[in-house]
Structure formats: C-alpha cells, structure tokens
Chain A
C-alpha cells in the first residue's frame, strides 16, 4: 500500500522540485551571450520608457557583427551616464560600427554612482573593458596604475596633438612616471557666475568680464569679491551684511559660494593659488600658504562675514538643497562651464534665475587661478587590442556629437563654435559671453585640485572631513585643523608607501 501510494507522490514531488529549481535558476541566469549582438549594447528606450543601461555580455574573443575587433567602451565614470545622453552615445556607436570593419565598439553605460565600483569588480574578475570615459582627473586617479601609456600609440597613429592648446597637450600626463593616460577631449574652465537680478536689485555694477578690468575703481581680487559678496548678502528684513542691523540668524540671500566643489579644500583654496597636499617627492604631506589663506577666507566668509552659506543653509530649501545658484538666492558662484547643465530646474518646474552672466575669476596677490576640469578617454593596460582600442578612442575624442551631448567645452578649438551654439540655444533669453570661459582657460590650476596623491580615496575622505567640519561648526581653528589634517595625510601616505 505504501509503495502504491508513494509512487505517484514521488513522481509529482520530483516534478515539482525540478520546476522549482528550474524557476529559481532561470531568474538568476544572465542573458545568453549568444543573443543578438544588438542586445549587447545599450537598449535605448523605444518600447519601454526606462532604458536599460547594463548591457548583456559580449564575447570579445570573437569578431563583432561588422567583422571588426570587439572593443568594450565603458561609460559612467564621468559624463555620459545620464539617460538623456544614451541616444547620442548609441547613435555614435551605430554610426561608427557601420562605417568601418576594423573595430566593433560594444557600449556599456553605468550609473555614475556605481560605475567606479563596477569597473573595480570587472578588473578584479579579469573582465575589464578596453576604453573608459569620458572620465575626469579624479576618476583617472582611482585607476591610475591600471591605465595604458598612450604616448607610443599617439606617435604610431600620428594622432594630431598640435590642434590643442599647448597647456592641454600635456595635461593628461598624469599616469605613473608621467605616462600620458588620456588625450584632450573636453575642458571645463571655471569662472564667476552671477545672478543679474540680484545685482540690479542691489543697484551694484556687474563684475568684470575682461582680465585686468577693475571693479568700482579697485582691483578685482578676493578682497573686492568679499566686499561685494557682503553687499549682496541680505537678511529677511532687507539689511545687507555690511549694515549694523544685519540679522545673521535670518539670512535669505547669500553673496558667494563655490558650489558643488565636492567638499574639497583644494578646490576652494585654488582661488588663492593652486596647491597639492603632497610634495614633489610624492611622499611628504604639506599644507600650502594658499591653502591656509583660502580656507581662512572661506571660514570667515561663513561664520564671521556670513556671505557664504554654511552646510545647513546649503542643504535647505532656501538654496534648493544644494543647487545654490539655481535657487535664485545666491548672487555669485565660482564654478565650471559644465554648470550650464543645471541653472534651470528640470521641467515642469520653471526657471528661477532668468538672467545670469559670467565674470572673470578674481585674483589673489595679482594672480588669477581658475581651476580646470577636463574629461578624456583612457585605455586600460589589460586591453588585448591596444591599436584597435586607440583607433576607437581617437574617434570618440574627436566627436562633436558626443561633446554636444555631454555639454562639454571642446578641447579642440575647431569644435567650439558648435558647442557655443548648443548652449546658447538652451538659454535663449540670456546673453552668454563666451570670451570669459575662453579667457579663463589660460589660468588653470597647476597642480590641478584633483591631482593624484597617495591612496587618493582615503586622502580625499580625510580632507573632505576637514572641509565639512568648518562648514558645519563655527569657531574652528583653521590652522590647527589643517595641521591635524597634514598629520593624518602623512599617516595615509606612509601607509600607502609601505603597502605599495
């Protein structure tokens, strides 16, 4: 009886288990690598509103659909990870792949928040892509010793570096022992953005738009900027920060900030001169005079003169939770050309800052320093096809379509006109003075504020902590805190030297 009853049971139970296991396994299986090649690239939204940005795997050991060597292009470390940029990237890849038969670019786009971690795990798994980018100096720092020196490839392929500004030709010699780890693609000079309405309301003249111009009969320097910013800082009663009745606990409009500077004292103090936390021996921690002067100026600006917002104020609704200039309550903002992305809020919200302008970065001790961001494309050392990868990289770096999609200021002067037209079209009611960013390109911060230091990620965490501390706490002794930071950084550098 037992046997009779258990027979069908066993059969059904066995089938059920097989079904359960199959179902469980099926849900975790990746898309087949033998699927159509088109599926291995980014699916630009067509049938579904949300585009998939993680590609299916592609067999790089086999020729691509156009018969060319498969080269994986990894996007997400810098620009390029925004959904509105996918279509341009896919269109570039499709056009490139159909235009020749030597190289097949396989596009992989990741969200910027996770791209670095994904690349790390790909490297750890021996499954690294060939090309990464667009990527800025900071992104390059994270993978510095994994990047290929492009000098031999630039020479052998006769890639034209002479078309770039001389200062940019060597800008990406940032690799180990001066290796060239990128070619110029996009630059993002910084300059002073001002809200015209707030100047009009205060009946103050607009800041200079030409290098060497004075402001109200005085040199346009950091002292003049402080004075102007205080006049543009207003409390709820309408008093500005220079008036005796000013109520610092009820400020509704601020005069100045360096928005989205990534909590970096190097970025902030660059207005007082470029510097690095590491000496020329790449081992010794240092705090420059420019750093001390700059951070004291910022600290006083927040807590004593009140023209710079503190962390709470920055994250408040008054300053659009961090997008300070967009809020309409910040009069001047020293930031990069890429901010043209974000002056207006995303629709359907209406722009608050209806008219704005660009001005020259003020000088300090007679010298202007306008910190520079730059994006490039790089090759990983692990690439099996360096020549083919560089061929694809050279095309990427010369693409006007991609520059426009990224809102990037072209490093190649021949491509700049089209870029200006694109941004001008974004702000039809604003007269943008392109002479300002072009002029500021001549005053980059050298060393760059994002330049490599030993154990970059850990060092950065240490200096961000310093910056956040003074932005959240009044009465910080900047000199003492910088000395403590120097000691911390030296510990990190020493540990990196030992482990390296």
Chain B
C-alpha cells in the first residue's frame, strides 16, 4: 500500500466526494474494515449482541423455566446484589484467592522464564515443553488428578510431607488450606505466561546487559534495572490476563466441590455464584446482573492497572 501512496499526485483539482473517497488513507481504512469484517460480524453477533441482551435481561426477573412470567423489574436485581450475602461472600472469597494466586503466578512464571532462558541451561527446548505441557491437559481432567494428589489420607503430597515429619494439611476441606491448594493447582499450568515471559526476555537487547556488566552491575542490579523495566509491557499484559482469569475462576472450583463452594463457601467464587443463580436456581435475570457486576469490577481493576502502567511501564517506542 505504501507504493500506492507514493504514486499519488500531491496537487489535484477541486476535490469531489469521489476523489475524497479515493484518498489512500480512507481507502486503507476501508479495506482494513473489510478485512476485519468477519471478526466484526462475530463480535456483534456473538459478543456485543449477547452483552446487550444480558444487560436487558438483568433488568427483568427472567427465569429459564418460566419465560412467560418474565417482567421488567428495573434496578431491583442490582439493589438485591448489594445486600446479597452470597454475592458479597463470593467477592471476598475471590479477592482472598486473588491476593494469593496472582503474585504467585506472576513470580513463578517469571522465575521459570528466567531459568529456562538462561544461556548456560542445557536442553532448553524439552524443558520448556515439559513446563508448558500441563496447559494442554483439559482442566477438568487435571483437577480430578489433583484431587487425588491432595487427598489428606492417601494423596502423594501428604505422603511426602508425612515422610518428612511435616504436618499433613487437609488441603481440600479446610478453609485455611483450600486457597493454597488451588494456587498450587494453578501453578501447574503457568506455561502460557512463562512462554510470553520468555519472548519478553529474548526481546531485551543484549548490548544493555553487556554495558551493565562493563559498568560493574551485578546480577540483581541487572535484573532490577534492565530486565524488569524492559519486560514491563509483557508483565503488564500477563498481569491483566491473570487478573481477569482469577475473577473468572470457575472450572477447578466447580469440579472440586460439585459447584457447592465447599468448604463453607470458601470456593464459592463470584463466577460460581453467577452460574448457580442462572443455571441451577434458574434466576437468569439476577445472574445477568451478577455478570455485569463482574464485568464492571474487572473493567475497573484493568483501568487502574493501565493508569498505574502509565508511570511504571516502559515502552521502547514511546508511551502507548
């Protein structure tokens, strides 16, 4: 297209609508829209459309089994949200889990990336594949395996801890241990984030490291002053994805507790409450309101992250 742009005359006779449309930038934009058209159609039909429907639904008492009884209830569902102990409790549970799992995932994925990107490490490829491999296992299947692994009486983990003379926690049925247990399960599938971090690490110019070394910088200083700043856009991306994933956490908790949120609602995360209200209790209007609450919370947190990122994230090509 740039060739076409260069070929255009710079001075033309009085501009008409037709010639305006013939401007390269407009034509490029038009073709761009045409090319992303299929995606746009998908967005409107399968994302924006259902979002609008769910927004309307959240203003009704729509019940799956009694669709004809649906009526407009205004903001009643949103008012109910504010005082619903299960929603408030689930938000607290989600935040508790997020506080543990987000830093753990970020640190572990970066740690593995550093390790598996080390110049002196042998068999980098197979090792990276090994760390990535759990990502390819279906979540339900891997969770079922983990349930056995974490069993208090017959699980391997407690078997090892017991052999070392350490206490054998009740990983799955204790309100204290369930979040660490879920975080451990989460660590098993950090492969995606690790791969992204490796890509980020490999994009850091090696001259910078050489210059730092010549200036006498140690490993920690190099990591803190060069690696982290230059990796910051990648880390921000991972953080946003982990944050969204944590607020949408569902499959593992559902599989482990049959959707009941045991022990004592500790795993009744906001997405599980949404599912139960909509598909178990049939309160689809209320579930839609919960979905919008979740959307607003995640959007708000993401915006906060981006606001912080303005000062903390370094973009080599200038601020984005």
**Which positions in A face B, CB cutoff 8 Å?**
1-2, 5-6, 13, 17, 20-21, 24, 117, 120-121, 123-126, 142-143, 145-146, 263, 311-313, 315-318, 321, 455, 457-458, 461, 464-465, 468-469, 472-473, 499
Q: How far is the CB of A134 from chain B (nearest CB, A)?
A: 20
Q: How far is the CB of A236 from chain B (nearest CB, A)?
A: 11
For A458, give its contact among B155, B262, B281 (CB under 8 Å).
B281
| Cβ–Cβ < 8 Å partners of B263 in chain A | 468-469, 472-473
Please give me the residue from chain B that is nearest to A251 by CB atom: B153
B281 engages A21 (CB within 8 Å): no
Can you show 9 pairs from A to B with CB atoms below 8 A apart?
A24-B42, A145-B65, A315-B147, A317-B151, A457-B280, A458-B281, A464-B260, A465-B262, A468-B262
| Cβ–Cβ < 8 Å partners of B281 in chain A | 455, 457-458, 461
For B148, give its contact among A2, A125, A126, A317 (CB under 8 Å).
A317
Measured between alpha carbons, how far is A317 from B145 in the docked complex, in Å? 12
B38 engages A312 (CB within 8 Å): no
| Cβ–Cβ < 8 Å partners of A123 in chain B | 64-65, 67
B262 engages A316 (CB within 8 Å): no
| Cβ–Cβ < 8 Å partners of B7 in chain A | 1-2
Q: How far is the CB of B98 from chain A (nearest CB, A)?
A: 24
| Cβ–Cβ < 8 Å partners of A318 in chain B | 153-154
A5 engages B4 (CB within 8 Å): yes
Chain B 7-23 interface residues, beta-carbon cutoff 8 Å to A:
7-8, 22
B279 engages A117 (CB within 8 Å): yes
Chief secondary structure at chain A's binding surface: helix
Chain B 58-114 interface residues, beta-carbon cutoff 8 Å to A:
61, 64-67
B65 engages A143 (CB within 8 Å): yes
Measured between alpha carbons, how far is A316 from B155 in the docked complex, in Å? 8
For B67, give its contact among A124, A461, A473 (CB under 8 Å).
A124
Please give me the residue from chain B that is nearest to A313 by CB atom: B153
Quick check: which of B29-37, B185-193, B225-233 contacts chain A, the rest being far away?
B29-37
Q: How far is the CB of B258 from chain A (nearest CB, A)?
A: 8
A124 engages B64 (CB within 8 Å): yes
| Cβ–Cβ < 8 Å partners of B170 in chain A | 312, 472
Give the 10 A-B residue pairs with the shortest CB-CB distance, closest first: A472-B173, A316-B154, A120-B64, A312-B152, A124-B67, A124-B64, A317-B154, A316-B153, A458-B281, A316-B151
B151 engages A312 (CB within 8 Å): yes
Cβ of B276 within 8 Å of any chain A Cβ, yes or no, is yes
One digit per residue, 1 when the CB lies within 8 angstroms of any chain A CB and 0 when it does not, for chain B 25-65 equals 00000010011011001100000000000000000010011
Known contacts: A5-B4, A312-B153, A458-B281. The answer to whether A17 contacts B172 by CB under 8 A is no
B67 engages A311 (CB within 8 Å): no
Please give me the residue from chain B that is nearest to A471 by CB atom: B173
A17 engages B38 (CB within 8 Å): yes
